[in-house]
Structure 1
Amino acid sequence: MKKVTKDVLIDASNRLLFEMDDREYDTLLEEFDIISKQMELMGEIKGVDEAKPMTFPYEVITTYLREDTPKDTLSKEDALKNAKNVKDGQIKLPKVVG
């Protein structure tokens, strides 16, 4: 597993537009170290390589789901009739992110 360093965390926080101080980076590094050690312990379990991968730990019966059947939907024109602000055939919304 790739070692998580403070530089990696700083880069990730900048990309995600987070502002963190040194204390928060140190705490996060400690938590990543704990998780890394726990993952190493899990790798030491005998027979883990032969285990079949699971997507969910329980068998789920999905008989309650209905069949997908095509239904009539609104035309583009009908959908745009309800919009306050339409531009170039699309609903124009106010800017959310600066």
Structure 2
Amino acid sequence: AGDAELPEDRVDGECLKGDLRALLEQLPELQGRVLKMRYGIPCDQVPGRSEPMSLSAIAKHLGMSRDKTRNLERKALEGVRAQSRMLEGYLVA
């Protein structure tokens, strides 16, 4: 039936979003906030915004240096990688 999204794909996508949010909630609050802002994941700290933000824009919004923001992003990504086992089921071999 053309290019229509299959129901299974829609369910998988929604489950992945939920699992990603859960994974981000396991990070320290500021690290999770930086990643959400960086990758355009809707969050309470920036209501109505769902576009990725630059490190400079995040730093300005949070009132900190760009280097501090970059370090928070790096540590957050390390944390996500360490917890990424919960996402392995979404990968296609």
TM > 0.5: no
More strand by share: 1
Q: Which protein has greater RCO, CA pairs closer than 8 Å, 6+ apart?
A: 2
Q: Using structure 2 for the length normalisation, give the TM-score.
A: 0.30
More helix by share: 2
Larger Rg: 1
Q: Using structure 1 for the length normalisation, give the TM-score.
A: 0.29
